[in-house]
């Protein structure tokens, strides 16, 4: 699994992020209304399609609303009419223009970047599909997929990074330490500080933090755990990391006992303490 998960978490995703950053920088220089119209996710299917059709302000001003609606429908967007009106209006907004020759040069670069990003998105999707296909055949798949907030892609990534050697982690703490979700306590004299781990497997901790965010709506126990931390004045990211750490411990218990996730069993001690 790790041989499949790691390429998608490194080369392709890093390349996509880099190309999207370049695209955003170019749009900011000569075509800022596009950023206002399309928002942050410049790698979305509808955004790439519309930027391909309208790579500069002149083309954007002539882009028919019907083409915007069609692109949104193909991308499976919600509130299509409302979103189409917003994009259509934003693309026609007044803005400072660069000279025509420079705009044409920028437009060529935008088309090129859109094409590169589209290929990277397609390759990432293909690798994710292969990950999911192999995950379904794995002995631990049912346990991972039963965890709250863990879909097929996150399960495959987490399994790939944790590995499937059942003797690798001697305790839940060992798994949490490897995951990088457990805190580090530093004591010196009378002073004690608790910090998050900065040296960690970033691919794994990213997956676990995404799981924790999704678990807020999927698990009442996870939500209660997060809310308790927030009530104590803990910031959002720290509370989410605390929840992710708890979920790693629950995952370890399920893998050790070879049982799937159960909401009552997982959070019974927290409910009793409350």
243 touches 179 (CB < 8 A): no
118 touches 48 (CB < 8 A): yes
Question: What number of other Cβ atoms are within 10 A of residue 67's Cβ?
Answer: 15
**Could you state, in order of their start, the residue ranges of all structural domains in the chain?**
2-133, 141-273
Beta bridge partners of 63: none
15 touches 7 (CB < 8 A): no
What is the residue-wise DSSP string for 215-250?
A: HHHH-HHHHHHHHHHHHTT--HHHHHHHHHHHHHHH
Q: How far is CA 21 from CA 16, 48, 114, 197, in A?
A: 9, 14, 12, 27
User: In a structure prediction context, what are the per-residue pLDDT tens digits for the chain, which is 274 residues long?
Assistant: 445 445 554 577 888 999 999 999 999 999 999 999 998 899 999 999 999 999 999 999 999 999 999 999 999 999 999 999 999 999 999 888 999 999 999 999 999 999 999 999 998 888 888 888 888 999 999 999 999 999 998 998 899 899 999 899 999 999 998 998 887 666 666 765 555 666 678 889 999 999 999 999 999 999 999 999 999 999 999 999 999 999 999 999 999 999 999 999 999 876 555 5
What's the pTM?
A: 0.71
∠ Cα 30 31 34 (to 5°): 160
CA distance 172 to 167: 12
Question: What number of other Cβ atoms are within 10 A of residue 214's Cβ?
Answer: 17
Cα Rg of the chain (Å, integer): 23
DSSP 79: S
Closest Cα partner for 88 from 41, 34, 43? 34
């Amino acid at each position: 699994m790790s041989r499949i998960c790691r390429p998608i978490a490194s080369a392709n995703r890093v390349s996509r992020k880099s190309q999207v950053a370049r695209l955003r920088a170019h749009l900011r220089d000569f075509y800022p209304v596009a950023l206002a119209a399309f928002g942050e996710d410049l790698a979305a299917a509808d955004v790439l399609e519309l930027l391909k059709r309208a790579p500069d302000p002149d083309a954007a001003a002539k882009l028919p609303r019907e083409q915007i609606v069609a692109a949104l429908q193909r991308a499976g967007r919600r509130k299509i009419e409302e979103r189409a009106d917003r994009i259509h209006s934003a693309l026609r907004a007044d803005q400072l223009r660069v000279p025509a020759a420079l705009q044409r040069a920028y437009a060529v670069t935008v088309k090129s970047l859109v094409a590169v990003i589209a290929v990277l998105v397609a390759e990432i999707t293909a690798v994710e599909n292969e990950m999911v296909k192999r995950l379904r055949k794995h002995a631990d798949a049912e346990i991972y997929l039963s965890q709250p907030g863990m879909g097929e892609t996150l399960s495959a990534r987490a399994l790939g990074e944790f590995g499937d050697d059942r003797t690798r982690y001697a305790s839940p703490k060992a798994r949490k330490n490897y995951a990088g979700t457990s805190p580090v306590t530093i004591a010196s004299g009378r002073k004690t500080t608790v910090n998050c781990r900065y040296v960690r497997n970033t691919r794994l901790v990213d997956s676990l933090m995404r799981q924790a965010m999704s678990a807020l709506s999927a698990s009442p126990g996870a939500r209660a755990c997060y809310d308790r931390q927030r009530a104590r004045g803990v910031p959002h990211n720290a509370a989410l990391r605390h929840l992710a750490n708890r979920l790693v411990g629950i995952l370890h218990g399920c893998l050790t006992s070879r049982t799937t996730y159960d909401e009552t069993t997982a959070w019974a001690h927290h409910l009793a303490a409350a």
